[in-house]
Amino acid sequence: MTTTTRPALPSLATVTRARVRAELLSFFRERDAVVFVLLFPVILLVVFGAVFGGQEEVAPGVPFMQYFVAGMIAAGLLSASFQNLAIQIPIERDTGYLKRLSGTPMPKSAYFIGKVVLVGFVAVIQTVLLLAIGVLLYGVTLPADGERWLTFGWVALLGITSCTLVGVAFSSVPQNGKSAPAIVSPIAILLQFISGVFFVFSELPTWMQTLAAIFPLKWMTQGMRSVFLPDAAQAAEPAGGWEHGRIALVLAVWCVVGLVLCLLTFRWRTRSDG
Amino acid sequence: MDLDAIGRWSRHAGVPGMLVGMTGPDSAVRVRNLTKRYGDHQAVAGVDLDIHHGEIFALIGPNGAGKTTCVEILEGYRHRDGGEVEVLGIDPARADAHWKARIGIVLQSTKDFAELTPTEALATFAAYYPSPRPVDEVLELVGLTDKRKTRADQLSGGQRRRLDVALGILGNPELLFLDEPTTGFDPDARRQFWGLIEDLSGLGTTILLTTHYMEEAERLADRVGVIAAGRVVAVDTPTMLGGRGAAEAVVSWRGPSGPEHTATDAPTKVVRELAETFGGEVPELAVSRPTLEDVYLQMIGAAQ
């Protein structure tokens, strides 16, 4: 029977803690996710390092591995956020998990905060692994001054925020959970090829550079190069500089676009479920 | 309870000042002239329904009759085109988290939570509710205590379904929706499940059940609603549905020249006469009435 005094709903903090626990448990128990989202960039670093890990320079004073680690960290952030969510959320929608959640009193924000914490957690582990392997195996040098680490911080934060929002928005694209990896992974791989991860960006055809400049990854790799490459290497950039202002602007625009798309398109049920 | 709500209820009931009755505050669910259309298909074509607090109500009907659409409108998942709906006194289309905390939903077959154990899944969901049942108590109630540390993707179909029910009752709901809960169960698992539903009902939970199994409706439901072509064509107790209670009984036995039977309003009298005729045991004696399935099929046939 209805009573006027009902027990208060749990606080957002309580629910969010439960969501974070569920996200982390599910992620680290799912081998596919751990291998493809978390470890794949690390594996690529080792493979490329083994093949191209000599001391040949891509620019004066810039060994290939120094360049590659900067790009791979950016690609790792893309993997931890965009690939992770754009694959995982369609599966959660398909299995009925999202529908089940939306039938509970759980605040919807707790779900998204849980995803953000998961992305952050994976990104940190992955970045630490990439840096550690780069430094220990391939002689990558870390920036010494605080200013560069500050740049690292905001580029990583803006990059991961934009890719998280775009990943959540993109989760409405695959028709079902099974097709999600087949749609999302090629996009990520293609972006890596044209955004200066596997190839030196300035050596790519101009049209490819122009295409890449539409998407966040190109700006994330550029930002990471400004952290890990000497300032002299700016001359080799197509724009002749690190373009910090433009990096921040493009990534911020993607954050807004991603957020608007999320708000307009996010569904708790599958399309066939009406 | 606020007086406005009482006023609203009594207005709906059409009897000013009448507080208790079929459509009064006793109704956990109250539906009037509910409609829902998908394209040019009228899935729900004017459903009226009242479910009382504390009862088990079974909604039965063929596939595509509008059962799930109806129930999902009540659960707040779908928006209706027209009509009035109140679930626990609130319109599900405008429901908030407080309302969701008072209902429990068990959807048709799901396959989520593959990586979590029942204990983990329940502990997570318990954090969403204001006054959840203790996790161990819920595991015990649904009979998953032995499997509490087994990953969900390692559970059998029946165990998996019991986890769904566990999640549905975890928040201590006043009203529980069960959408085809035993589809795919073996007979033994189904009987165990019925026991669980009866236990829950005994604890005071109102239950709205949809099912394809007449045996299930007959065993569990206080009242049964038959839905066909988007309309509720009959609501009654399982024993009275479709005039079942008043229907003639059929007495059958084996006579000297083979099986015989007779339809009668007074089966006891017929049996007594047979006993005298045979001077003791009547071979293969049986007294039967139309089953729920018989009257159901008749109604569905008439509605189409």
Q: What's the pLDDT at B169?
A: 93
| Distance separating alpha carbons of residues B245 and A56, to the nearest angstrom | 92
Q: What's the pLDDT at B4?
A: 42
Chain A interface includes B283 (CB < 8 A): no
Tell me, yes or no, whether B231 and B162 share the same domain: yes
Q: What's the pLDDT at A154?
A: 97
- What mean pLDDT value characterizes chain A? 92
Tell me, yes or no, whether B235 and B254 share the same domain: no
Tell me, yes or no, whether B133 and B255 share the same domain: no
Are A234 and A108 spatial neighbours (Cβ–Cβ below 8 Å)? no
Report the pLDDT averaged over residues A39-66: 86
- Tell me which H or E stretch contains A45: helix A40-52
Tell me, yes or no, whether B182 and B67 share the same domain: yes
Work out how many domains chain B is built from and give that number: 2
Residue B266 included in any domain:
yes
Phi and psi at B87, nearest 5°, equal: -120, 120
By three-state DSSP, how is residue B36 classified? Answer: strand
Give the gyration radius of chain A's Cα atoms: 20
Residue B168 included in any domain:
yes
Tell me, yes or no, whether B168 and B274 share the same domain: no
Tell me, yes or no, whether B193 and B256 share the same domain: no
CB-count burial class (<10 Å; 0-12, 13-18, 19+) for B240: middle
Q: What's the pLDDT at A5?
A: 64
In angstroms, the separation between the Cα of residue A2 and the nearest Cα of chain B is 6
| Distance separating alpha carbons of residues A242 and A246, to the nearest angstrom | 9
Q: What's the pLDDT at B304?
A: 64
Residue B125 included in any domain:
yes
Lowest mean pLDDT among A111-120, A182-191, A236-245, B243-252: B243-252
- Domain containing B272: what range? 249-288
Report the pLDDT averaged over residues A163-175: 94
pLDDT tens-digit series, residues A115-133: 999 999 999 999 999 999 9
Name chain A contacts of B112, Cβ cutoff 8 Å: 92, 95-97, 100
More confident residue, B15 or A200: A200
Q: Which residue of A has its CA nearest to B92?
A: A103
Residue A248 included in any domain:
yes
| Distance separating alpha carbons of residues B279 and B297, to the nearest angstrom | 39
Name chain A contacts of B115, Cβ cutoff 8 Å: 25-26, 29-30
What string of H, E and C letters represents the secondary structure of A218-270?
Answer: HHHHHHHHHHHCCHHHHHHCCCCCCCHHHHHHHHHHHHHHHHHHHHHHCCCCC
- Domain containing A144: what range? 29-107+116-273
Residue A185 included in any domain:
yes
Residue B114 included in any domain:
yes
Residue A80 included in any domain:
yes
Tell me, yes or no, whether B151 and B200 share the same domain: yes
CB-count burial class (<10 Å; 0-12, 13-18, 19+) for B258: exposed
Residue B295 included in any domain:
no
Tokens 């063929």 appear where?
Answer: B62
Tell me, yes or no, whether B151 and B217 share the same domain: yes
Residue A11 included in any domain:
no
Name chain A contacts of B88, Cβ cutoff 8 Å: 2
Tell me, yes or no, whether B208 and B139 share the same domain: yes
Q: What's the pLDDT at B20?
A: 38
* Interface test mutation site (partner B, options A4, A9, A23, A272, max chain B beta carbons within 10 A): A9
Strand B56-60 to strand B82-87: parallel, antiparallel, or no bridges (unpaired)?
unpaired
Work out how many domains chain A is built from and give that number: 1
Q: What's the pLDDT at B19?
A: 37
Q: Which residue of B has its CA nearest to A12?
A: B128
Residue B3 included in any domain:
no
Q: What's the pLDDT at B3?
A: 41
Q: What's the pLDDT at A197?
A: 92
Residue A13 included in any domain:
no
In angstroms, the separation between the Cα of residue B186 and the nearest Cα of chain A is 23
Can you list the residues of chain B whose pLDDT is less than 70? 1-25, 303-304
Q: What's the pLDDT at B161?
A: 87
A196: left (phi over 0), alpha (psi -120 to 50) or beta: left
More confident residue, B136 or A2: B136
Closest CA to A75 of A47, A108, A110, A38: A38
Residue A3 included in any domain:
no
| Domain harbouring B146, CATH code | 3.40.50.300
Name chain A contacts of B78, Cβ cutoff 8 Å: 274
Tell me, yes or no, whether B67 and B190 share the same domain: yes
Beta-carbon count within 10 A of A208 CB? 16
Report the pLDDT averaged over residues A72-96: 94
Phi and psi at B50, nearest 5°, equal: -130, 125
Beta-carbon count within 10 A of B231 CB? 18
More confident residue, B111 or A71: A71
Among residues 200-229 of chain B, which lie with CB inside 8 Å of chain A? none
Q: What's the pLDDT at A123?
A: 96
| Distance separating alpha carbons of residues A16 and B73, to the nearest angstrom | 28
Residue A9 included in any domain:
no
B107 to A15: CB separation less than 8 angstroms, yes or no? no
Q: What's the pLDDT at A274?
A: 62
How far, CA to CA in Å, does B44 sit from each of B187, B189, B235, B243?
32, 32, 17, 25
Tell me, yes or no, whether B239 and B256 share the same domain: no
